Amino acid sequence: MADTSDFRNGMIIKLEGRLYSINEFLHVKPGKGGAFVRTKLKQIPEGAVIDKTFRAGEKVEEVRVERRTYQYLYNSGDLFYMMDTETYEQIPISKALVDDALPYLKENTNVTVLMDGDQPIAVELPTFVELAVAETEPGVRGDTAQGGSKSATLETGAVTSVPLFIEIGDVLKIDTRTGRYIERV
């Protein structure tokens, strides 16, 4: 058991028989009344995000999960096959667990799989991935007075906003948390 003072981003807790990952939390001490903690919780594996408020010091059940590094190999229908980078064992993971990662997931990408015993419960991408631009409009010279931008479709099908100088074939560093362009690689 843990209480609200132990909260941290990425912590897995159990509420009403369901698993949740803490995405955000904020300790609030109003001038009048008791302190409380506002949280954004992501349900595992469904992915639904809920807002929940806890009283300060309230007890919650923390779930211990193991984080293992796997390499994404390929998908077949609704199953995504991952290989343990240490044992080379392959496991199938359902599309529901991979859904949030799909826009940035390409073959041979290393991901972190959260395991509850031998059961995979979530897939986490690295913070940054490098993806090639598959499609974008040509930039117009002289049209950069305001630091203009255009949309680009990446090799995985994700669409992001990029500066005008980006061309098809350029490899970009993308932040997987926000989907934003960081730099050209």
Instruction: Return the half-sphere exposure (C-beta side, CA atoms, 13 A cut-off) of residue 31.
Output: 0
State whether the Cα torsion 109-40-9-177 is positive or negative. Answer: positive
2.60.120.620, 2.40.10.10, 2.40.50.140, 3.30.460.80: which CATH number matches 66-124? 2.40.50.140
- DSSP secondary structure code for residue 63 in this structure: P
Residue 155: φ, ψ to 5°: -60, -20
Of 97, 87, 127, the residue nearest 109 (C-alpha): 127
Tokens 């799989």 belong to 113
Residues 97-125 have pLDDT tens digits of: 888 788 999 999 999 998 888 888 888 88
pTM for the predicted model, two decimal places:
0.74
Q: Which CATH class is domain 2-62?
A: mainly beta
Task: Please give the full DSSP string across 116-159, using - where no structure is assigned.
Answer: ETTEEEEEE--SEEEEEEEEEPPPPTT--TT--EEEEEETTS-E
Neighbours of 67 (CB within 10 A): 11
Tell me the HSE value of 3 on the side-chain side, using a 13 A CA sphere. 6
Choose the weakest-confidence range: 63-72, 108-117, 145-154, 170-179. 145-154
> Which residues make up the CATH 2.40.50.140 domain(s) of the chain?
66-124, 128-184
Q: Which amino acid is at 149?
A: S
- 3-class SS at 95? helix
Q: Give residue-wise pLDDT tens across range 132-159.
A: 999 998 876 655 556 678 899 999 999 9
Just give the CATH number of 128-184.
Answer: 2.40.50.140
